[in-house]
Amino acid sequence: MKNEGLKGIIAAQTRISHIDGNEGNLIYRGYQIGDLTDKYSFEEVAFLLWYGCLPTFDKLSILKSELKENRYLSVTMKSVLDLLPKDMDLMSVIRTVISAEGKSDYQWPPTIDQAIRLTAVIPSIITYRQRTLAGHAPVEPNSKFDHVENYLYMLNGVLPSKAQVNALETYMILTLEHGMNASTFSARVTASSESDMVSAITSAIGTMKGPLHGGAPSGVMELLNEIGTIENTENIIREKLNNGEKLMGFGHRVYKTHDPRAKALRKKLLELDGQDSWLDLAIHVENVAINILNELKPGRSLYTNVEFYAAAIMRSLNLPSELFTATFTASRIVGWTSHVLEQAENNTIYRPQSEYIGDFKGS
């Protein structure tokens, strides 16, 4: 029996997350994703994924301090960053610099301290590279800012608005974890050989780099840029659908109803109504597009996916397209490291079989 790409095959048991595509549910450690984005910060949800419970005030304070202490690039990391070719893509840069973290204290078994270090330092790698390529001096981390706010601060060197921080933090919580996807599976396979945490995460980054997994939502960005203003929305959407064009940002391979991440992100953006024109435009485009899709394609159940609102957020933050997958990586590192830690709890090396379909020659 063939299962191309291992589709439908259960490869592990997990307590980290659950996806119900038919009902449109995403659960982290027993909590519906919408409840988490409503009430908790990036740090609190990261704690939940790593430790299996939400933190007390004291434990949250400790985690925030640990993340802040681990933001700084080592001398070796800076040296590697300065030596890498200017035309090297950002995901390859992150993968290479994370490899430079693989010192002797990263041996099996993996630890939460290692997960915290890697999570804390990835935004610093991204922003150091982005600013130096642009001819600007890197911005050092600011201990007054929490994780997401500090990321935006290091990117631009200015204090981001509350609306920007809220929107990006919600997005990053929603993309911390998403079951046994390709990059998470890569991390668990590498960890199952009792390799180190750094090796497992570089495997995941290499997988995320592929356009079939972590590709930027450039099509959604192009759609929103083309529409530009609320007044243009209906005419452009109708023209595209009448011409048989695909409406980017609608529909999902797993979710057969509303993408719960898109729902949670939309709810947060509605709370920010009027604070950012591009986020307001995205909400309007969604409403118009859903109505037209229901009119022209009845019964298709096409809803916005998380990439639709991710594109709107990236556009509102003026983030270039090459930062999308890198920012996705800066959030998904929490899920990857959680899975590596879980793999180590009851480890068995992955050793699937292959079916030989070649010739048999000779006697």
Dist. CA 79–CA 31, nearest whole Å: 42
Instruction: Report pLDDT for 215.
Output: 66
DSSP class per residue in 162-227 = HHHHHHHHHHHHHTS--SS-HHHHHHHHHHHTT--HHHHHHHHHHHHTSHHHH---HHHHHHHHHH
Residue 304 pairs with which residues in a beta bridge?
250
Count of alpha carbons within 13 angstroms of residue 240, beta-carbon side: 19
Instruction: Give whichever of 8-22, 37-51, 260-274 has the largest mean pLDDT.
Output: 37-51
Domain 218-316 has CATH 1.10.230.10: yes
- Which 3 state secondary structure label does DSSP give 280? helix
Return the minimum-mean-pLDDT range out of 160-174, 282-296, 333-347: 282-296
Question: Which token pair is 31?
Answer: 């909590």
pLDDT in tens, 111-154: 999 999 999 999 999 999 999 999 999 999 999 999 999 999 99
pLDDT in tens, 237-287: 999 988 988 887 787 666 566 778 888 888 877 776 667 777 788 889 988
Dist. CA 354–CA 363, nearest whole Å: 24
pTM of the model: 0.90
- Could you tell me where in the chain the CATH 1.10.580.10 domains are found? 17-160+177-212+324-345
Q: What are the residue numbers of the active site?
A: 252, 307
- Could you tell me where in the chain the CATH 1.10.230.10 domains are found? 218-316
Note the CATH architecture for domain 17-160+177-212+324-345: Orthogonal Bundle (1.10)
Prior bond of 260 cis (ω within 30°): no
Count of alpha carbons within 13 angstroms of residue 252, beta-carbon side: 21
